[in-house]
Chain A
Amino acid sequence: MASVVFQDVVKKFGTFTAVSDLNLEVRDKEFLVLLGPSGCGKTTTMRMVAGLEEVTTGEIFIGSDPVNDVLPKYRDVAMVFQSYALYPHLSVAENIGYPLKIRKVPQDKRRRSVMEVARRVELDGLLDRLPKQLSGGQRQRVALARAIIRTPKVFLMDEPLSNLDAKLRVQMRAELKHLQHELQVTTIYVTHDQIEAMTLAHRVAVMNKGVIEQLGTPKEIYNNPRTLFVAGFIGSPPMNLIDGEVKDGVFTSLGGIRVDGLGSANVASAVLGARPEDIHVLPAGNAKANIVAPIYSVELTGESTLVTLRAGAALLTIRADKNFVGDFDQMVEVGFAPERVFLFDRQSQDRVDF
């Protein structure tokens, strides 16, 4: 049980800066998700905690101990790799028991632990198989079992669900969350999947180009994005981001979208952000409509209908009622809730409060 602290951590590969000036505290027992697109430095950050990458400058602490110069084996962390990294020449039982074998735990005690952990992840009965004889989901469980067989200070998980099919991923996600709650071990979880981040995390650190753009609870990140990147990255379908200008609290875009009631903001090159569920289809002839635009496409997802409109050069996605009926090119009037839209400055990429 321990916190993990990054203090001014920089990681460079040659001249390329993978992680720049990272300051972050992962609290004891916290489930922290590092979220970002590929190449944003999230995996490098995790690998530095494991000791698989050296820190260029700065210091990492696990608990109160600086670990920069500590070998992986002494850091007392457990890691689940994206590829699972199961030892192909060892059976399931030997894979799971490997961390204990290395620590010279007596064989009978080791066997009991393996049995116990295997039962927990529902692998009992497969213990004599080799990894290649297992399905993807089973391999994933072996990797998990190998990580939880000892109680490490920190769990590190590098996109552990990305190789599973969609249905299994949802199931394993719930199991992972439950397991972390049960074991109460500090967890750092790397993913590029914002749904995983939203559902699993106590706090999410959204990373981009080697820096943390925003750190907060999933709710904060979703409801209160601080930068244009975070706004665009979180949410599915993503937030509508419309370029235009704001004069005295009135936003206008080239595509004909007009939103007023934005305080007294003035931004020359502004981006208006509105989540699909915060835009509403209005009855025809409504004077409050922010835009009247033709339908580009209608997709029924089951619990709602995604309506995409063509607003000038841009496309506007709206989450409408599941009973919405509309045809291609039919004109639709929509309204934005001014208190639910966000304004960003295209130049600085930052939120503009109003």
Chain B
Amino acid sequence: MAHRRKSIGIQRIAAYATIAVALVVTLFPVYWIAANSFKYDIDIFSIPPQWVPANPTSKHYHAAFVERPFLIYALNSLIIAVSTTLVSVVFGSLAGYALARFQYPGRWRYQISFWILSTRMMPPIVTIIPLYIAFNHLGMLNTKPAVIIAYTAFNLPFATWMMKSYFQDLPVELEEAAMVDGDTRWGAFLHVALPLARPGLAATAIFCLIISWNEFLLALILTLTERSQTLPIGIAGRVTQYNTYWGEISAAGFTACIPIMLFAFVVQKHLVRGISFGAVKG
């Protein structure tokens, strides 16, 4: 008995130690950015490092959001990320439902699903030149809709697959009951399947949001000015040939974390359930 209790104690200490290391590794960079955004330039590089800003200043925030157009970059990011997420979740749900529920001849359900996913198998960079040329011909370069379309193309397969697996996990009798009770297929989807897939919707939405909020490569090629440039592009733009503005980069970078953190916090209940939804039933 005594031996048993002791071994559990050691296990627990080991577990906490591992968690502590993981937390430091993942959270320290975030803290470091936050701390640097409040330091004067000279303090950012001080040796030994200044763990806590000695003379906190908001000058980098002022520089980024008042002197430079980071507010506009943030707004662009918000419009693009939210639009992409909305379109991806709406069409991902519809496509996912169709793949989960409808009858297909032979192995076509599998074929179509695989084809949709296969569009994610190539590296995005191979599509950049065709996308650039296409948007150029359409006169859509350096516009937000172009970025939204490109992001949606990359998010939709993912959203479709996630929603497909959520719908597959819902008991089909619920929709059948709705249809016998007098609903159409569309009504059963809207009144029964969709409300029950809420955890899936939340999980899909946050993944789409994170991907489009953080995306860099496509935005770099498709955008040119603050008319459509997003936060990651704006931040990268502060690495200039003369100077790297670490203070502004930190201020903008830390600010960019906040909306996603807030959103994740709001939907985290759904998110945890959503992620484990397919694995554990009941």
A contact residues vs B (CB 8 Å cutoff): 50-52, 71-73, 75, 77-79, 81, 83, 85, 87-89, 98-99, 102-103, 146, 156
Question: In the bound complex, how far is the Cα of B174 from the Cα of A98, in angstroms?
Answer: 12
Question: In the bound complex, how far is the Cα of B187 from the Cα of A103, in angstroms?
Answer: 12
- Cβ-closest 3 pairs across A and B: A85-B177, A85-B173, A102-B182
Question: In the bound complex, how far is the Cα of B173 from the Cα of A146, in angstroms?
Answer: 14
B177-215 contact mask (Cβ, 8 Å, vs A): 1 or 0 = 111111110010001100110000000000000000000
Given contacts A83-B171, A88-B196, contact A99 B176 (CB under 8 A): no
Task: Assess whether B187 is in contact with A102, with CB atoms less than 8 Å apart.
Answer: yes
Task: Assess whether A52 is in contact with B179, with CB atoms less than 8 Å apart.
Answer: yes
Task: Assess whether B181 is in contact with A146, with CB atoms less than 8 Å apart.
Answer: yes
Question: In the bound complex, how far is the Cα of B180 from the Cα of A205, in angstroms?
Answer: 24
Q: Min CB distance, B189 to chain A, in Å? A: 13
Q: Contacting B174 at CB < 8 Å: which of A75, A87, A156?
A: A87
Q: Contacting A78 at CB < 8 Å: which of B176, B180, B187?
A: B180
List A contacts of B183 (CB < 8 A). 73, 102
From A51, A81, A85, A88, residue with most partner B Cβ within 10 Å: A85
Question: In the bound complex, how far is the Cα of B184 from the Cα of A102, in angstroms?
Answer: 9
Q: How many residues of B contact A (CB 8 A)?
A: 17
List A contacts of B180 (CB < 8 A). 50-52, 72-73, 75, 77-79, 156
Task: Assess whether A73 is in contact with B171, with CB atoms less than 8 Å apart.
Answer: no
Q: Min CB distance, B105 to chain A, in Å? A: 10
Smallest Cβ-Cβ distance to A149: which chain B residue: B181
24 sampled A-B residue pairs with Cβ under 8 A: A50-B180, A51-B179, A52-B179, A52-B180, A71-B179, A71-B184, A73-B179, A79-B176, A79-B177, A79-B180, A81-B176, A85-B176, A85-B177, A87-B174, A87-B177, A87-B178, A88-B196, A98-B181, A102-B178, A102-B181, A102-B183, A102-B187, A146-B177, A146-B181
Task: Assess whether B184 is in contact with A73, with CB atoms less than 8 Å apart.
Answer: yes
Question: In the bound complex, how far is the Cα of B192 from the Cα of A99, in angstroms?
Answer: 13
List B contacts of A71 (CB < 8 A). 179, 184
Given contacts A89-B195, A102-B187, contact A73 B182 (CB under 8 A): yes
Task: Assess whether A78 is in contact with B179, with CB atoms less than 8 Å apart.
Answer: no
Supply 15 further A-B pairs (C-beta < 8 A) apart from A52-B176, A71-B179. Answer: A50-B180, A52-B180, A73-B183, A73-B184, A77-B180, A81-B173, A83-B171, A85-B177, A87-B174, A87-B178, A98-B181, A102-B187, A103-B182, A146-B181, A156-B180
List B contacts of A52 (CB < 8 A). 176, 179-180
Smallest Cβ-Cβ distance to B182: which chain A residue: A102
From B176, B178, B181, B191, residue with most partner A Cβ within 10 Å: B181
Q: Min CB distance, B59 to chain A, in Å? A: 51
Question: In the bound complex, how far is the Cα of B180 from the Cα of A75, in angstroms?
Answer: 8
Question: In the bound complex, how far is the Cα of B177 from the Cα of A146, in angstroms?
Answer: 10
List B contacts of A78 (CB < 8 A). 180-181
List B contacts of A79 (CB < 8 A). 176-177, 180
Question: In the bound complex, how far is the Cα of B181 from the Cα of A51, in angstroms?
Answer: 12
Question: In the bound complex, how far is the Cα of B177 from the Cα of A156, in angstroms?
Answer: 11
Given contacts A52-B180, A73-B179, A77-B180, contact A83 B173 (CB under 8 A): yes
Question: In the bound complex, how far is the Cα of B175 from the Cα of A51, in angstroms?
Answer: 13
Question: In the bound complex, how far is the Cα of B179 from the Cα of A72, in angstroms?
Answer: 6
Q: Contacting B181 at CB < 8 Å: which of A83, A89, A99?
A: A99
List B contacts of A50 (CB < 8 A). 176, 180
Question: In the bound complex, how far is the Cα of B96 from the Cα of A220, in angstroms?
Answer: 51
List A contacts of B182 (CB < 8 A). 73, 99, 102-103
Chain B 146-178 interface residues, beta-carbon cutoff 8 Å to A? 171, 173-174, 176-178
List B contacts of A51 (CB < 8 A). 179-180
Question: In the bound complex, how far is the Cα of B191 from the Cα of A73, in angstroms?
Answer: 15
Question: In the bound complex, how far is the Cα of B180 from the Cα of A87, in angstroms?
Answer: 13
Q: Min CB distance, A136 to chain B, in Å? A: 16
